[in-house]
Structure 1
């Protein structure tokens, strides 16, 4: 057997061994992918197999960031059919099938972030399935924050200004500022990363003003505002007392005038009534004798 014959013999042996014990080889070109929420992302998964692709199967799964122990199915290719998970229907699809297992994810959401796995199997090749893994990060600008205030704003009281944002990635940074009458940056306490509050003790009239909460990350900035008004008693207490006394005096004077007017009106009515009664009595005495005389004639 010549040199060429020996080479062919060893090549056939190696090929036979690979076919007997080999497995599908999977390659992921990008181990980490970033996308802005609402945009499309391509998740790559290339594979190599020496066997025909008649029984090829591909499964993509997602392990969300918030549920590391609960992977969910994204899309499956098996027996020539494609099956999409309900939460991904209309948003996910294969690219270049059956020559690779790449998928495209459209209209990305915050919930799409996590670790994706591509599992490829092509019987009758034996051995473990080919597996590729990559992470997807979905970036989002901050949502519009909501500003609230709590507690009384009476003098010498306390007030708490809070600012809450629903989503945004990376986690938004929060800044509280007093804009009017003077611009001052206030220390912020963060509760869980998505709520920032400011505690103001012993508020007074000087605490009044326009306050702004700013939430920002590399994709944008949003604001909300609180207009805080604090009222305290004036310092010129004697002036206030004089005003109250003057108002009370005027009210008493008007009341006295009203009583006098009513008394005069009633007196006039009583005088008129007495005069009317006297006239009736006088007429009765005047005409009675005449009637008596006529009765005797």
Structure 2
């Protein structure tokens, strides 16, 4: 029978002789995909497990944007106690629990932030094939204000094209054209690409005139722009040109009459002033040459 001291020695020998299991570095992404509304903040989760001290810990976050997936960019780095942010993201990206967690906070999100993020963790001397995590981030946004334009011939019998386009919106906005008259009429839209569409109107008439609205909408909201279309006939055009010519001639004649009146007034004033000067000169001469009366004294 073994005493207490013998049992302790046996347990110590068992622990020392038992081979240790090497716990390699592991990275765990708590979510594989996230969705955020433009302008909001989001936490990109990345946890890691290591058995070594954190004095040589290195964490690198990268992004492969949706717009250019083959050109990944560095987002933020933690290296030997220092944090380095991508210059274009300074003020918007930061670590949430460094060094115990590799979570990253992304503020004021934008559509350009969408893409595939990778969280890479190294903690020498540990190495592992599972030290990289991947996360898909989607950023939704309401439609931007659409731009409405029209092209073509607005005379009766002509053809007109109404164009509408938006610069931003996720999911891709749907475009819809309406003719806003006493009864709202929907018009078929020809999609030129994902963010622009047009409506073709052939053989326009007086009934074609009026206010047209293009609406761009998705799950997050709707924006609209307007076009006011005025269709005129050839007779209306000729009448308008005749009225313009008549008005121009009337203005020319009026200006000519004013010029003649001013010249006449100027000449009349000049003649009147000359006659007054001549009369004053004659009166002066009469006074100057009038014989004086001489008084004589007789003694």
- Shorter-chain TM-score range: 0.7 to 0.9
Q: Which residue of 1 aligns with 2:287?
A: none
1:119–1:129 CA contact under 8 A, matched in 2: no
Q: TM-score, normalising length from structure 2? A: 0.73
| Alpha-carbon shift at residue 152 of structure 1 (Å) | 1.3
Indicate how the Cα distance of structure 1 residues 179 and 6 shifts in structure 2: closer, same or farther if over 3 A, else same. Answer: farther
Indicate how the Cα distance of structure 1 residues 171 and 6 shifts in structure 2: closer, same or farther if over 3 A, else same. Answer: farther
| Alpha-carbon shift at residue 50 of structure 1 (Å) | 0.5
2:26–2:128 CA contact under 8 A, matched in 1: no
Q: Per-residue displacement from partner, 1:159-197 (whole Å, max 9, x unpaired)?
A: 000111110111101110111143111111112110011
Q: Secondary structure at the match of 2:20?
A: helix
Q: In structure 1, how many angstroms separate the alpha carbons of the residues matched to 2:200 and 2:222?
A: 23
1:181–1:209 CA contact under 8 A, matched in 2: no
1:160–1:199 CA contact under 8 A, matched in 2: yes
Query: Within the alignment, does 1:13 sit opposite 2:12 as a pair?
Result: no
Indicate how the Cα distance of structure 1 residues 122 and 180 shifts in structure 2: closer, same or farther if over 3 A, else same. Answer: same
Q: In structure 1, how many angstroms separate the alpha carbons of the residues matched to 2:159 and 2:12?
A: 94
Q: Secondary structure at the match of 1:87?
A: helix
Q: In structure 1, how many angstroms separate the alpha carbons of the residues matched to 2:87 and 2:147?
A: 33
1:178–1:210 CA contact under 8 A, matched in 2: yes
Q: TM-score, normalising length from structure 1? A: 0.73
Indicate how the Cα distance of structure 1 residues 55 and 231 shifts in structure 2: closer, same or farther if over 3 A, else same. Answer: same
Q: In structure 2, how many angstroms separate the alpha carbons of the residues matched to 1:104 and 1:86?
A: 16
2:75–2:85 CA contact under 8 A, matched in 1: yes
Q: Which residue of 2 aligns with 1:110?
A: 111
Q: Per-residue displacement from partner, 1:224-266 (whole Å, max 9, x unpaired)?
A: 111111012579xxxx9xxxxxxxxxxxxxxxxxxxxxxxxxx
| Alpha-carbon shift at residue 39 of structure 1 (Å) | 0.9
- Please tell me the root mean square deviation across aligned C-alpha atoms, in Å: 2.2
Q: In structure 2, how many angstroms separate the alpha carbons of the residues matched to 1:9 and 1:152?
A: 94
Q: Secondary structure at the match of 2:15?
A: helix
Indicate how the Cα distance of structure 1 residues 231 and 133 shifts in structure 2: closer, same or farther if over 3 A, else same. Answer: same
1:121–1:129 CA contact under 8 A, matched in 2: no
**Mapping for residues 245-256 of structure 1, pairs under 5 Å:** none
**Gapped runs of 5+ residues in structure 1?**
241-297
**Gapped runs of 5+ residues in structure 2?**
1-5, 240-299
| Alpha-carbon shift at residue 129 of structure 1 (Å) | 6.0
Q: How many residues align?
A: 231
Q: Which residue of 2 aligns with 1:142?
A: 143
Q: In structure 2, how many angstroms separate the alpha carbons of the residues matched to 1:221 and 1:138?
A: 17
2:155–2:234 CA contact under 8 A, matched in 1: no
Q: In structure 1, how many angstroms separate the alpha carbons of the residues matched to 2:165 and 2:172?
A: 12
Q: In structure 1, how many angstroms separate the alpha carbons of the residues matched to 2:34 and 2:129?
A: 26
